[in-house]
Amino acid sequence: MNQPIALLLATPLLSALLILLLPNLKRHGIARLSVGLSALTFAIAVISLALYMFHPHPQWLSSGLAWGSLYLDPLTSVMTMAVTGISLVVHVYSVRYMAEEPGYARFYILLDLMTATILLMVSAGDLITLLVAWHLIGVLLYFLLGHDLVRPTAQRYAFWSLFTYRLGDLPLILASVLLYKAYGTFAIPTLFERIAENPDVQTVLGLPLTFAVAMLIALSAFARSAQFPLHTWLPYTMEGPTPVSALMHAGIVNAGGFIINRFAPVFVHAGLVLHIVFAVGMVTAIMGSVLMLTQNDIKKSLGYSTMGQMGFMFVECGVGAFSLAIYHLVAHGLFKGTLFLDAGSMIGNARKQDGVPHDDIYTFVVERKPVASRMPWVVAAAVTLVVPFLVLGVSRWLVAGDFIGQQGAVILLFFGWATGAQLLFATYRLRAENPWRLMAMIILSLIIVVFGYTVIEHAFNLFIYPDESLRNRIYAAASIPLGTFETLVAILTAAIVLGWIATYYATANGKQQSGNTSAARLAIYSLISREFYVSDVYAWLTQGILGLSQRMNVWLRWV
Amino acid sequence: MALTLAAAFFLPLFPLSIVFNGLLMRLSNPYARFALVLLWPQIGIAALSFTNQAIPEYMVIWAIISSGLYALRLLTVRDLGLWAGFLASSSLALTWGLAAHHTPVEMHLFAFWFSLPAALLTLLAGSLSRRFGAAYAGLYGGLASSMPRLSILLVITAFVAIATPPSPGFFAMLNLLQRLSLLAAIGVLAIWLLWSWAATKLMQGFVLGADRRHGLPDLGSAAILLYMGVLCVFVVTGLYITGDAL
């Protein structure tokens, strides 16, 4: 068996085992042991990735049993490095953060076991190992989120997470059973070879097998990555310790994107499922973003931000940009982990300085600074619409000249366009002494970021999916009829152009809203503030099921 | 047919399962309960192995409905002994899913993988009853603070009982799912979900919350070693037998 990958799994397990077997170890000893072995795990992951880059050939490593095999491919290599990196940061942060908490040893044991289990999931070489790891992550997360054994809310929300995760386990189990029945193997590489040879060997309830399996995997991914309406558990996971929230939002919740990538050879035969993934991701991204903007609690706001980001990750999968979803997953993991770990300092700073800017008169009279101004709105609107479009288009054309033929790439360009425009609009709203200079600097930054991002993303795509035909088949599966696509592009372009012009006009010429709020606005506000009543529906269903259970026990006299 | 019906008493199918659960309620000695949960299903499988007739398809449907009924009822059971009995009734009924394939060894093992953790739970119910007068979730709580050893054991045994990997029950469930039709497999998966819900609810009633009772002794070192040893042997044996049999 390949030494680095086997060591990678063994190191966090060894850490958990040593802490368990050494009950007299003091807190600083526990921390040193766990952080030291966590750093070693990260180093092994880096070596493993480096070795893979020198010898880029996927390896399937058998355990000698029907399960317990490992699969080392580009996806595994990248994911192990991301997971171990985030885990190391969380380990280090927890040393002081958890110092006053009871159950220090238990916390580090669970953290190490979680790291080992996630590593097992990303490197699983057969369906059984994948299922074992997939299932165990939910159980371990339950104990980590419920680390505070006394607080009822921590336990309640830990249970929400466990239940949603168990709900997500079931479709993956069913998909594995269907695949085994149809192809007679649990080994992932062999399975993919047989699927490629004969994709629709059977039908399930009249549907092609690959469609049914892809749909089940997508359902599993929806639950794991908090897609609407299975998202309610995610914003409340901050009831657990902050390092767990960071690990959760930076790593564990991304499992949905990973599982779709792992089963990419199935999804190339299930284009309709990719369209469903796109639609669910889009709805989740919008809902998550709306809910994020209406929160007054920074951690809950970050929770909904993760929901929105997960939605975007599924949108990327839905348009066939599978490797981009992995890139997004890693990048989101790093920045969201940082935000969570920094949330406490932010709250502390906000208590000292509210951050509200002074008005123009105060700035001019008291601070003796010139009054800030804005660019003319027509110019700003033109820059906002043209510059991001050009920058994105040119950067994409430089790395892949034929991108116009790829629907997924075009849709992603639209997202980039809207995001770039958002940045420039935010710049326009900032009053500055020299607004032209400010806008120029922001545009320069945008160019550097977009070009850097495009080059990295392109290299990442070539590394994760070196097989060009697979890349093209994924894009082809995600495509829709050309006429429909062109109509959608025209509508979207018109919406973006007219929408931004209207926004700029309203910002430049509009008046502040004041006075009575309309009934419709209040209705929308209450809908959002109640988080679209999704949790209420679940609470109502739960009460119904528990009531039925109780009535049956009473009727049947508890035997 | 008579033997098949007799087996339905021992691999408990509702309403014949009332006999098993009634007996379990009447027995006050934890060791007698342990023996009953462990041996009762094995008698049923032995009875089935004497039948030469094929098991009708409706028996499997009946078994899944019966298992689902007990899984649903499990959600609001708070007495640990009764909970173990209901879980055994729900899980052992699923043995009928293998009966159609005439695999007595697999059936014996399947029943054993589910009855042993349930039987251990009845022993733990006895330990709690001796200390508190009743093994009732929500009556006291916070055992994690006052009795950490008993709490850990309770949590691990309950999770093993609901077929959490790497317990043998997990692999046995995967093996069973392969033998069932798609609709039956969906039913079994829903039952599995209800077990998880019920186990979490039960654990929260016993283990979590503020410590409200002091001065009662935790499990002794010998007892915890014995229990953990049994569970470890159980899991390792299960991995060896079920893990490789898939």
ipTM metric: 0.94
In angstroms, the separation between the Cα of residue A12 and the nearest Cα of chain B is 18
Q: Among partner residues A136, A170, A174, which is closest to B193 by beta-carbon distance? A: A170
Quote the tokens at residue A98. 């958890």
Q: Least CA distance to B152: which residue of chain A?
A: A106
Confidence at B243, pLDDT banded by 50, 70, 90: low
Task: Give yes or no for residue A96 having a pLDDT over 70.
Answer: yes
What is the pLDDT averaged over residues A14-21?
94
* Beta strand A203-204 pairing with A207-208: antiparallel
Here the contacts of A191-194 (C-beta below 8 Å, separation 24 or greater) are: A191/A127, A192/A265, A192/A266
Mean pLDDT of B143-165: 93
**Which band of pLDDT confidence, cut at 50, 70 and 90, is reported for residue A67?**
confident
Domain ranges of chain A: 1-125, 161-344, 368-509, 524-555
- Tens digit of pLDDT for each residue in A312-349? 999 989 988 898 889 888 888 888 888 878 877 777 77
pLDDT tens for residues A342-372? Answer: 877 777 777 777 666 666 677 777 776 766 7
Cα–Cα distance for residue pair A56/A420, rounded to 1 Å: 36
How far CA A79 is from CA of A36, A337, A353, B197, in Å, comes to 21, 16, 39, 31
Q: Name the residue type at position A223.
A: A
Considering only CB atoms, B246 lies closest to which of A67, A149, A170, namely A67
Give the pLDDT of residue B6: 87
pLDDT digits (tens, 9 = 90+) for A427-442: 888 877 788 888 899 8
A240 touches B at CB < 8 Å: no
Instruction: Write down the mean pLDDT value for chain B.
Output: 91
Would you say A137 and A168 are in contact if contact means Cβ atoms under 8 Å apart? no
Within 8 A of B89 by CB-CB distance, chain A residues are none
Name, in order, each residue with C-beta under 8 angstroms of A103's C-beta and a sequence gap of 6 or more.
A147, A149
Alpha carbon separation from B219 to A449, B107, B151, B216, B224 (Å, rounded): 61, 34, 10, 10, 6
pLDDT band at A222 (very low <50, low <70, confident <90, very high): very high
Tell me if B100 sits within 8 A of B55, measured CB to CB.
Answer: yes
In the stretch 119-178 of chain B, residues with CB closer than 8 A to chain A read: 142, 144-145, 159, 164-166, 170-171, 174, 177-178
Q: Which residue has the higher pLDDT, A74 or A453?
A: A74
pLDDT at B188 over 90: yes
The predicted pLDDT at position A180 comes to: 93
Asked if residue A144 lies in contact with residue A110, where contact means CB atoms within 8 angstroms, the answer is yes
DSSP string, A445-512: HHHHHHHHHHHHHHHHHHHH---HHHHHHHHHHH---HHHHHHHHHHHHHHHHHHHHHHHHHHHH---
Each residue of A123-133: pLDDT tens digit?
999 999 999 99
Mean pLDDT of the A500-510 span: 84
- How distant is the Cα of A45 from the closest Cα of chain B, in angstroms? 25
| Nearest CB to A177; choose among B25, B185, B204 | B185
More confident residue, A401 or A32: A32
Check if the beta carbon of residue A98 is closer than 8 Å to that of residue A24. Answer: no
Mean pLDDT of B213-232: 86
Q: What does the alpha-carbon distance between residue A246 and residue A138 come to, in Å, rounded to a whole number?
A: 16
| pLDDT average, residue stretch A9-27 | 92
A17 touching chain B per CB within 8 A: no
Percent of chain A with pLDDT over 90: 43
Confidence of residue A1 (pLDDT cuts 50, 70, 90): very low
Quick check: A519 pLDDT over 80?
Answer: yes
Write the pLDDT tens digit of every residue in B44-76.
999 988 887 788 889 999 999 999 999 999 999
Instruction: Tell me how far apart the alpha carbons of residues A78 and A462 are, in angstroms, rounded to a whole number.
Output: 13
- pLDDT at residue A226, rounded to an integer: 92
Which residues of chain B neighbour A167 with C-beta distances below 8 Å? 193
Pairing of strands A70-72, A207-208: unpaired
Q: Among the ranges A417-421, A444-448, A552-556, which has the highest mean pLDDT value?
A: A552-556
Tell me the pLDDT tens digit for each residue of A152-164. Answer: 888 889 999 999 9
Closest of A335, A339, A311 to residue A325, by C-alpha:
A311
Digit-coded pLDDT (tens) for B102-127:
788 899 999 999 999 999 999 999 99
pLDDT-above-90 percentage for chain B: 71
Best to test chain A binding among B66, B162, B174 (most A CBs inside 10 Å)? B174
- The whole-number average pLDDT for the span A506-518 is 72
